[in-house]
Structures are given as C-alpha cells and as structure tokens.
Amino acid sequence: MAKVQKIKGFADLFPDEAAKYTFMESCAREVFSRYGFGELRTPILEKTELFQKSIGEDTDVVGKEMFTFPDRKDRSLTMRPEATAGVVRAFIESKIHQPGNVSKFFTFGPMFRYERPQKGRQRQFHQIDAEIFGADEPQADAELILMLTSFLNRIGLKNLTVEINSLGCHECRPAYKQALVDYYHSKDKANFCEDCRRRMETNPLRVLDCKVPTCKELVQDAPVITDHLCPDCEAHFADVRAVLDGAKVAYTLNPRMVRGLDYYVRTCFEVTSNDIGSQTAVAGGGRYDGLVRNLGGPDCPGTGFACGMERLALLLDDIAPEAPDFYLAVVDQEASNEAMLFAQALRKKGLSGEVSFAGGSMKSRMRAANKSGAKTCLIMGGSELADETITVKDMAGNREQETLDRKLYLASL
Ligand code: HAM
C-alpha cells in the first residue's frame, strides 16, 4: 500500500525538536510578560482580503506565496502567512481600543507561505510575534527591539546582528518614491525582471527587495530613504537609536532595508545570523501606523516584530530531556495490573516515570531502565506481587537494590 506522506515543506516535530519550541515559547512568555505583554491566540484561517489589504497585493507573500482556497460556500480563505494582520483584525473587532490606551500582545503559532523549501525555510513555519497598539512614540519601537534582544539572549543566542532603518511616513515617502522612479527610469528597463518592471510604477519600494540578482545589482546605487526623511521622521528615528545606544544594544544602520511587507512606516528592523545558511533573518519587524485604520479600525498606531522559530531552532543546542524519577520494570505478566496502579500512586505523589509493559527478559528491562535515564528502577514480579513489596534499585549512585514493603515505600516518598 502506498504510504500517505506529509506535504512538501511541512515538518513533523518529534520530542527532541519540539522541546526547543517549548523552550522558546516559555522563554518568550517569561521575557515578554516582564514588558507587560499578554498572550493572544488568533485563528490560523482568515478571509483572504485581510492579507491583501494589509500585507499588500504587490508583495511576494500575497502575490505568490499564500495558501488560498475557496471554502464550501466559495468564499476565499487563506492560511495566515504571518501573525500581524490577524492580530490587528482581532484588536479592531474586539473594540478594546480606547484613545490614549496602549495594548500589548504576543502570539505563537504556525504560519504558511508557499516558498521553495530549504534550510530555515518551510511552507509551514512558526513565529513568535509581539505587537504594540496605541503608541506612536519611538520608545515603543526601541522597547520592542530591547525585548527582542533580551529574548534572544535569554535563549542563549549570540553573534546576531540587529539592522535598523526608517522607511519614512506618508509625508516624506512620496518624494522618495519619485526619486526611486526617476532612478529606475535612468536605467534600461529591459534589465529588470518582469515583476520589477511593473512594480517600479505601482510600488517602487518593492523593487529594492527583489531577490533576482540582476535587479539586486541594478538597485545598488538607488537613492536611500534616509536621505529623504522629513524632520519628524528624522527625530523619531534618532530617538529610537538614542534608546538603543543608551541600552548598549549594538545595531547596524541599513538604509536599504525595506522589509517584505507593505504595511511598514518609519522604524523597521531585522535580526540576522550568519550561522544558518542563506536564510539569515531570524526576526523582523517595524512600525505600521495606518494599518489599523486601513483595516477599518480607529486611528491607532502599531508596531511589532516576529521571530522565525525554525531559524532560531537551528541555532539552539539540543535540550536534554529531564530524567524521570523511576522506571517500573514488570518482570512477570501477572504483576502488570498491580504495577500500573502502583505507578499511578507514584505519579499522584508528583513523581514521573514509565512502566514497562509485560514481555521481554529481565536484561532487556534493565537496558530500558538505563536508557530512560531514571534515577530509580523499581522491579515488580510474582514474588513482589504476592508479598506486597517492591524491589528498588538505585540507578544514580551505588546501583544496589533492596526489597521493601510497598506501602511503607510509598509513604516514605
Ligand atoms: P517577516 O520578516 O515576513 O515579518 O517574518 C518574520 C520572520 O519569520 C522572518 O525573519 C523569518 O525568521 C521567519 N520566516 C518567514 N518566512 C519563513 C519561512 N518560509 N520559513 C521559516 N521562517 C520564516 C513578519 O511576518 C511580520 N508580521 C513581522 C511583524 C510583526 N512586523 C510587525 N509586527
């Protein structure tokens, strides 16, 4: 019979790998709660228009990478390619926003992008995402970067680079876009890829993010946004940097970073690693003032980031599972039921461990006990069953064993 296999770009995470994800999530909970963030869980499936209206029709994510399909009533649905759009929708729909209030959320979970799978790039991947609503101050952006770097330190990562940029606002960006268009027109249009020939008219910033080598080369001398910022954006960006400088967070200014999603204004940032192959970005984010209003909500600024958990997992050492307290070796089938009940009593006392199911030699039982890493091996056979005893073997120290009264042993724990 042909085996049913998983979908290309989707992965199963067995305990060793899943432990890394649990570790990252618990560290994120610990660190983010220190900054006043609360957990929000939003649906994986959303209406397609949510992503079209927020991420932008011209982006690779919306144009090429979404898992989109009609439901049974022919409504177009999309597996979320990122968390921000859904969090913004939930924020608007909940009507929790009050003018002057700041709301902070984090969320974890699977995201879906139809990209070519490779190391650090999956079609189902996981993000740790954080968003702040209601703060247009540069300190909110700086706080996110501080929180992100604290989290990355907490999970033990070093050798990461923080890159930051300002993408300007609706005041200064039009003039920059025009400067870009003028620059593209000064080049031979035929040398740009087909997408960029279109984008240079519809969305000139996107051309800067094109991955096609010829386009990359053509934009190398393009004007940079930081030469076109209005005084307010200049001051905003200077304050973000001042907080980072004060906190001694090392960063690089990258005036060519535009990010792959259309909703950004002003501050944007990425954290990269050179230790995980060609997909170097482990986290990215920025400010998206205007998005809440564009999606039908109040005039409320927003800023946030997301980490890619697959890429962080590549940088983490293996996490050793915690050793169980006991391994209960059943050496006679007739003792199986009593062994199960005894193990249950041990677990009620807070101990952890497994019971061997019947079958197999004493030798194989001891091998299994060793392999489990348990501190104590408990042995129950016909004689222990009859005498209401349990044989206890110390696996961590002298490896001696003694047979004890079962009830007294339980009471001694
Ligand atoms: P993004 O840069 O598209 O931003 O994704 C954030 C991170 O998700 C990336 O830096 C990368 O680590 C990871 N990632 C993206 N695609 C894949 C993939 N196919 N496989 C593995 N990892 C991947 C966002 O998604 C924004 N929503 C971030 C944000 C939040 N901006 C403001 N708030």
Say if residue 300's pLDDT is above 90. yes
The minimum-distance atom of ligand 1 relative to the CA of 270 is 10
Mean pLDDT of 266-286: 93
Say if residue 360's pLDDT is above 80. no
Residues framing ligand 1 (Cβ under 6 A)? 82-84, 113, 115, 120-122, 125, 127, 129, 131, 260-261, 281-286, 304-306, 308, 310-311
pLDDT tens readout for residues 104-157: 999 999 999 999 999 999 999 999 999 999 999 999 999 999 999 999 999 999
The minimum-distance atom of ligand 1 relative to the CA of 307 is 7
The distance from CA 160 to its chain's CA centroid, rounded to whole angstroms, is: 16
The minimum-distance atom of ligand 1 relative to the CA of 85 is 27
How far, in Å, from the CA of 163 to the mean position of ligand 1? 15
How far, in Å, from the CA of 74 to the mean position of ligand 1? 29
Mean pLDDT of 223-235: 96
pLDDT at 399 (0 to 100): 85
How far, in Å, from the CA of 186 to the mean position of ligand 1? 33
The strands making up 76-79's β-sheet, listed across from edge to edge, are 45-47, 76-79, 67-70
How far, in Å, from the CA of 343 to the mean position of ligand 1? 45
The minimum-distance atom of ligand 1 relative to the CA of 311 is 12
- Angle, vertex CA 300, rays to CA 151 and CA 138, nearest 5: 50
How far, in Å, from the CA of 218 to the mean position of ligand 1? 26
- What stretches of 34-163 show up as alpha helix (H) in DSSP? 48-54, 60-64, 84-94, 138-154
Say if residue 1's pLDDT is above 90. no
pLDDT at 108 (0 to 100): 97
How far, in Å, from the CA of 29 to the mean position of ligand 1? 19
pLDDT tens readout for residues 247-259: 999 999 999 999 9
pLDDT tens readout for residues 24-40: 999 999 999 999 999 99
Mean pLDDT of 74-100: 96
What type of residue sits at position 408?
L
> How far is the C-alpha of 76 from the C-alpha of 245, rounded, in Å?
46
Mutate to test the pocket of ligand 1, among 32, 66, 111 (most ligand atoms within 8 A of CB): 111
Please state whether 168 falls in left (phi above 0), alpha (psi between -120 and 50) or beta: left
How far, in Å, from the CA of 281 to the mean position of ligand 1? 8
Strand pairing category for 103-112 and 38-39 = parallel
How far, in Å, from the CA of 111 to the mean position of ligand 1? 9
Mean pLDDT of 62-66: 95
How far, in Å, from the CA of 100 to the mean position of ligand 1? 29
How far, in Å, from the CA of 112 to the mean position of ligand 1? 10
Strand pairing category for 160-166 and 252-253 = parallel
Residue nearest to ligand 1 atom 10, measured at CA: 283
How far, in Å, from the CA of 262 to the mean position of ligand 1? 13
Say if residue 358's pLDDT is above 70. no
> How far is the C-alpha of 149 from the C-alpha of 158, rounded, in Å?
10
pTM for this one?
0.94
Predicted confidence band at 169 (pLDDT cuts at 50, 70, 90)? very high
pLDDT at 390 (0 to 100): 97
Residue partners of 213: CB distance under 8 A and separation at least 6: none
Contact assessment for residue 258 and residue 176, using Cβ atoms and an 8 Å cutoff: no
- What stretches of 155-272 show up as alpha helix (H) in DSSP? 173-185, 194-202, 204-207, 213-218, 231-246
Mutate to test the pocket of ligand 1, among 133, 162, 311 (most ligand atoms within 8 A of CB): 311
Mutate to test the pocket of ligand 1, among 87, 118, 261, 291 (most ligand atoms within 8 A of CB): 261
The share of the chain scoring above pLDDT 90, in percent, equals: 86
Residue nearest to ligand 1 atom 31, measured at CA: 285
C-alpha distance across the termini of the chain, in Å: 51
Contact assessment for residue 88 and residue 303, using Cβ atoms and an 8 Å cutoff: no
Mutate to test the pocket of ligand 1, among 80, 119, 125, 272 (most ligand atoms within 8 A of CB): 125
> How far is the C-alpha of 159 from the C-alpha of 114, rounded, in Å?
29
> How far is the C-alpha of 122 from the C-alpha of 111, rounded, in Å?
9
Report helix, strand or coil for 385: helix
Count of C-beta atoms within a 10 Å radius of residue 153? 13
Handedness of CA 35, 41, 47, 48 (dihedral sign): positive
Mean pLDDT of 369-392: 94
Mean pLDDT of 254-265: 93
